[in-house]
Amino acid sequence: MADFLLLATVYLLSMIIAVPVSARLGLGSVLGYLIAGIVIGPVLGIGGGNAEMNELQHFAEFGVVMMLFIIGLELEPRVLWAMRARLIGLGGLQIFGTLGLIFAVALAMNQSWQVALALGMILSLSSTAIVLQTLTEKNLMQTRGGRDAFAVLLTQDIAVIPMLALMPLLAQAPMRAETGADSMGGAFMAQLPGWAATLATIAAVALVILIGNYVFRPLFRFVHSARLREMDTILALFIVVGIASLMSFVGLSPALGTFLAGVMLAGSEFRHELESQIEPFKGLLLGLFFITVGAGMDFNLLAEMPVIVIGVTAVLIAIKAGVLHLIARSTRMPGRDRALFTLSLAQAGEFGFVLIAYAVSLRVLPERLAQGFLLVIALSMLITPLLFIASDRLRRRAGEVAPDAPGPDEIEDQQPIIIAGIGRFGQVVNRLVTFSGLKTTVLDHDLKLIQLMRRFGFKGYFGDPTRPEILAAAGLDKAQILVAALDDPDNNIKLVRYAREKRPDLTIIARARDRITVYALYKAGADHIVREMFDSSLRVGRYVLENAGFSEYEAHEAEAIFYKIDRASLRELAELWDPAQPTEANEPYIERTRRVNQELESALMDRFSHGPAAPPIVPDDDDPEPEHGLKE
């Protein structure tokens, strides 16, 4: 018991240290777990013996079952059907193209067709965890390259299910029987004739679908009526464990059953509750699984044959990038998106670790070959940040010279008001200003938005507002007002900084996503700054007060007091904010923020603790009257 607790302490401590460091470096949590395993295993040798490692890894593999259940919960059949063209066209081509090339290369290297096919399936997958996290962090999910990469990753996640189901068929028949006999279900299925085993398998899958559709929902309602949160957790675990047991009994992959159950429950009202209950267990067990993979890596093999391991990694990335590039060109993907699509998916993925472990347990892959490809997968994932850097450079170059990318519009007239960004924020600004009789020049780098505007009768120009030549063509040197309303905060700050340098006398009104962006825009030179959610949040707060017993006048008065004090403090806080220092470490800023909160509380309590005063005439407008200075 003491040894187990010590080992658990080592693993948990390694998670606590390595994963946050890896996330801060932009490497992602999966690489953090792998690095932690490498440190406590091959480097320090404190990860336990081989027997303990194998036992722990079998336990941690249940995290994969939970991951596939959650993936199923997120894949409502209706949504999958709507995405069928992209899933089959992009994802299917990528998987089969990569699998076929790797299969051919492995056969040429004198591997059996079973090993070659297993390697093709394993290495055709990319890292969902790393790629999605990086695309989100870099705000690339809304680009075509990002959306198409997501479609490929989704197809790969779904493809894991048939891969797990097919893997036992690649083992020799005696070994499959030997593997299946380890469980009561395996022994039972081994005694059945072939037709009966097939019927039992089909019946088990049908039973999962029927239970998912007709049993789990009323069962969840019954358990939820107890109003005990731990019962919801117990039920969620029961669903996953029960279906995994049923699948194991008929000799199928537990992941297949839980995935099907997740898909059946994707449209239920309990979907998010189930996901929230399973997520902590999935995260912990998956993290433990990746640590055991890292701890079990044979770095002696890398030391023995570094050229071979690194060479195979390079060939793998080249094969995957080549397939992805051909797919991107065949679908006429623009040059900038083609670079992102090609390089972001060129690594192997975390499911490769799962499939390799499964293939070794079935004796499809020899142990030494599996160890080598564990290293190849890990190295390709470690290289992923470099692939994204290369993608960024190629995208910038393609954005400057790509012949298939549309060029910016020729701006025919120059108006005194320039609105940069015509998304959900800029549209409202433009409508109010133009309907009031003023003329605007609208710029946006999203061609579809500009084309949509034109269909509704609004004039706009396609072009990147952060490029000096576009701003010059829009009449920056003659404009009176610039509205910086770009979705990307970094681009908005860049635009404001450049416009202020070129035109010190220009009035600049800027959109800010949050308070930190307000400070950055203030330092960049914006005259008026509006947080996109601030006024709407104040209005919601006012409605809460009115429905909680405040009169309409009292709620309006509270809103006005809050607005006035918060706005007045903003300039001082902007002066205290230091971009080179984390906000939580800036003591003067924190101290002033606390005083502002006290001032707000005191002002509101003093105003309403003795009852409302006689209400004066309330202004017609819903929002407090704006004043010059730093706005919110």
150 and 199 share one domain: yes
pLDDT on residue 78: 67
For the segment 496-523, the average pLDDT, to the nearest whole number, is: 90
Instruction: Please state, in angstroms and rounded to a whole number, the distance separating the CA atoms of residues 321 and 319.
Output: 6
Report yes or no on 615 lying in a domain: no
Report yes or no on 625 lying in a domain: no
423 and 465 share one domain: yes
485 CB-near residues (< 8 Å, 6+ apart): 419, 420, 421, 422, 423, 425, 426, 429, 492, 510, 511
3-state secondary structure of 625: coil
346 and 456 share one domain: no
CATH of the domain at 573: 3.40.50.720
Mean pLDDT is highest, among 165-174, 192-201, 207-216, for: 207-216
378 and 424 share one domain: no
Tokens matching residue 334: 């623009």
pLDDT digits (tens, 9 = 90+) for 490-501: 889 999 999 999
For the segment 485-489, the average pLDDT, to the nearest whole number, is: 89
> Residue 360 pLDDT > 60, yes or no?
yes
Full domain range(s) for residue 555: 417-608
CATH of the domain at 152: 1.20.1530.20
Any bridge partners for residue 530, and if so which? 511
Report yes or no on 275 lying in a domain: yes
388 and 448 share one domain: no
Tell me which of 337, 362, 396 is where a domain ends. 396
Report yes or no on 411 lying in a domain: no
Tell me which of 336, 364, 396 is where a domain ends. 396
DSSP H helices in 215-304: 216-224, 229-249, 254-264, 271-295, 299-304
Tell me which of 361, 396, 431 is where a domain ends. 396
Band of pLDDT at residue 198, cut at 50, 70 and 90? low
> Residue 443 pLDDT > 70, yes or no?
yes
pLDDT on residue 48: 64
pLDDT on residue 420: 92
39 and 187 share one domain: yes
For the segment 455-470, the average pLDDT, to the nearest whole number, is: 83
Report yes or no on whether pTM surpasses 0.75. no
Q: How many domains does the chain have?
A: 2
440 and 351 share one domain: no
User: In sequence order, what E strands does 79-166 have?
Assistant: none
Report yes or no on 630 lying in a domain: no
Q: What is the CA radius of gyration of the chain?
A: 30
382 and 235 share one domain: yes
Residue with tokens 């449209």: 267
Q: Which of 47-56, 130-139, 184-193, 456-465 has the lowest mean pLDDT?
A: 184-193
pLDDT on residue 312: 92
Report CA 467 to chain centroid distance, whole Å. 29
Q: Which of 69-78, 349-358, 511-520 has the lowest mean pLDDT?
A: 69-78
> Residue 178 pLDDT > 50, yes or no?
no
pLDDT on residue 623: 44
Report CA 559 to chain centroid distance, whole Å. 36
What is the number of other CB atoms lying within 10 angstroms of the CB of residue 605?
A: 10
Report yes or no on 477 lying in a domain: yes
75 and 151 share one domain: yes
pLDDT on residue 192: 60
Report yes or no on 601 lying in a domain: yes
Report yes or no on 409 lying in a domain: no
434 and 327 share one domain: no
Angle at 302 between CA 296 and CA 303, to 5 degrees: 120
Number of H helices, E strands in the chain: 31, 6
349 and 461 share one domain: no
444 and 524 share one domain: yes
421: left (phi over 0), alpha (psi -120 to 50) or beta: left
Arithmetic mean of pLDDT over the chain: 79
